[in-house]
């Protein structure tokens, strides 16, 4: 299940629990880094609504638009006395439901079988029916869990009125290239006419438009604007540059041939690097730097004369934040432009690679390679600088 991060940096999804679930306990496991990152609990708040109860065989409970289904667990409360056959401490199960009425049974099995409770005697006061559980829970993933694009397992323990169960839910956290609020604000501020083309659309529909634009962008540039916390392996080449092959924003741990030589997360921190290591300007590598000195001015870079820091064929593992900490503004604009294309029934041909138009039974000619892009030349130009070429030496 793909779950999008919202404007607050958190994420949530709706979980359908077994019937009559009174509470959930859940833990969130990060598949990439093999660690638990969140523990939480949800408890159903009893909902109480006024009802009336007949003294009859069987007893009929009337509650306007109650919404109960077969097997729902309830309790009764009263300001006076319930009729004989019912009490305020027992849990009852709904059966024979209609829009405004239902009967109750002593067990779930009896409710399924249609065995109803009878009432006798007298009653007094105001009665209420209190639902004891639900099937719908919103599970919130906090900012720690939602900080990065990653694969999670949400381990859920459901405590029901009449039982207990467990389930694991696979979640993929995705950071949208533009949030719903960013998209709606853009189209409100930059609408060409008085009509906002997405003004009446639901959030879920706008999320689908963003997802479609995101997938199209990813396909065109052959990459993604992810932000991940993970470990990447690399081999030294006898230079002061360690090429990682992926864009890196920060690092907190370096392992050299299975020896931890740097770890800022430990207490005390580990630092036996013997040199100052920083992220290279390209952000695709680590490099050795000297404070206030350009090392190329005083160090012979010939590895035969002076072997460099990252030794040839030495294995390095670098843990840190990879990808893009923030989605580039160009990419957000590309999303807006593509959504505009998706929503417009009258496409702007000159922005979609139209080369020429001939009349008398139209002869439309499109630019070469038009189908290799997004269908929008402006968007293609925005994305061109981010395009990744995968080349292999044979």
Q: Which of 70-84, 280-294, 317-331 has the lowest mean pLDDT?
A: 280-294
The mean per-residue pLDDT over the stretch 49-68 comes to 95
**Would the pLDDT of 308 be above 90?**
no
State residue 350's pLDDT score: 46
Read off the pLDDT band of 260 (50, 70, 90).
very high
Model confidence band, residue 187 (pLDDT cutoffs 50, 70, 90) = confident
Contacts 24+ apart (CB under 8 A), 199-208: 206/180, 207/4, 207/176, 207/180
pLDDT of residue 301: 47
The total of other beta-carbon atoms located within 10 Å of residue 63's CB is 20
Mean pLDDT, range 75-83, rounded to an integer = 96
pLDDT tens for 330-371 read 999 999 999 988 887 645 544 555 666 666 766 766 666 555
Q: Mean pLDDT throughout 165-191?
A: 91
Q: Which of 94, 101, 105, 91 is nearest to 70 (CA)?
A: 94
Q: What are phi and psi of 370, to 5 degrees?
A: -60, -40
Residues 234, 318 contacting (CB under 8 angstroms): yes
Average pLDDT, the chain: 87
| C-alpha neighbours within 13 Å on the C-beta side of residue 225 | 26
Percent of the chain with pLDDT over 70: 85
Q: What is the pLDDT of residues 92-150, one digit of tens each?
A: 999 999 999 999 999 999 999 999 999 999 999 999 999 999 999 999 999 999 999 99
Question: Per the confidence metrics, is the pTM higher than 0.85?
Answer: no
Question: In the structure encoding, which two tokens stand for residue 169, read together?
Answer: 């839910």
**What is the per-residue pLDDT across 140-157, written as a single tens digit (0 to 9) for each?**
999 999 999 999 999 999
Confidence of residue 13 (pLDDT cuts 50, 70, 90): very high
pLDDT given at position 116: 96
Determine contact, residues 220/373, Cβ cutoff 8 Å.
yes
Mean pLDDT, residues 233-251: 92
Contact 11, 4 (CB under 8 A): yes
Q: What is the pLDDT of residue 313?
A: 82
- The pLDDT score that the predictor gives to residue 370 is 58
pLDDT at residue 89 is higher than 60 = yes
Q: What is the mean pLDDT of residues 308-315?
A: 84
Buried b (16+ CB within 10 A) or exposed e, 5-42: beeeeebebebebebbbbebebebbbeeeeeebbeeeb
């Amino acid at each position: 299940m793909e779950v999008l991060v919202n404007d607050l940096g958190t994420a949530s999804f709706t979980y359908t629990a077994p019937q009559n679930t009174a509470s959930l306990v859940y833990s969130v496991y990060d598949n990439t880094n093999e660690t638990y990152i969140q523990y939480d609990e949800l408890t159903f708040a009893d909902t109480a609504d006024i009802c009336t109860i007949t003294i009859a065989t069987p007893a009929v409970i009337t509650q306007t638009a109650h919404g109960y289904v077969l097997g729902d667990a309830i309790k009764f409360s009263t300001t006076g006395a319930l009729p004989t056959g019912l009490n305020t401490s027992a849990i009852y199960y709904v059966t024979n439901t209609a829009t405004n009425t239902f009967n109750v049974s002593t067990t779930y099995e009896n409710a399924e079988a249609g065995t109803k409770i009878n009432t006798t005697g007298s009653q007094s006061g105001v009665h209420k029916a209190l639902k004891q559980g639900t099937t719908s829970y919103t599970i919130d993933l906090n900012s720690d869990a939602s900080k990065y694009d990653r694969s999670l397992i949400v381990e859920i323990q459901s405590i029901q009125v009449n039982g207990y169960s467990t389930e694991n839910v696979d979640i993929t956290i995705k950071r949208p290239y533009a949030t719903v609020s960013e998209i709606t604000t853009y189209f409100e501020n930059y609408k060409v006419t008085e009509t906002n083309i997405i003004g009446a659309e639901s959030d879920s529909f706008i999320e689908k438009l963003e997802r479609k634009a995101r997938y199209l962008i990813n396909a065109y540039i052959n990459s993604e604007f992810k932000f991940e916390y993970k470990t990447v392996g690399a081999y030294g080449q006898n230079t002061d540059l360690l090429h990682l092959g992926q864009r890196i924003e920060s690092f907190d741990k370096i392992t050299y041939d299975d020896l931890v030589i740097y770890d800022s997360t430990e207490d005390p921190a580990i630092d036996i690097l013997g040199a100052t290591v920083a992220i290279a300007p390209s952000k695709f590598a680590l490099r050795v730097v000297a404070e206030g000195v350009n090392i190329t001015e005083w160090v012979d870079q010939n590895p035969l004369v002076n072997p460099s820091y990252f030794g040839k064929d030495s294995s390095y593992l670098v843990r840190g934040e990879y990808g893009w900490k923030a989605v580039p503004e160009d990419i957000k604009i590309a999303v807006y432009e593509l959504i505009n294309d998706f929503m417009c029934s009258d496409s702007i041909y000159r922005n979609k690679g139209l080369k020429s138009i001939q009349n008398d039974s139209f002869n439309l000619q499109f630019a070469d390679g038009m189908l290799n892009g997004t269908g929008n030349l402006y968007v293609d130009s925005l994305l061109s600088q981010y395009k990744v070429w995968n080349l292999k030496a044979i």
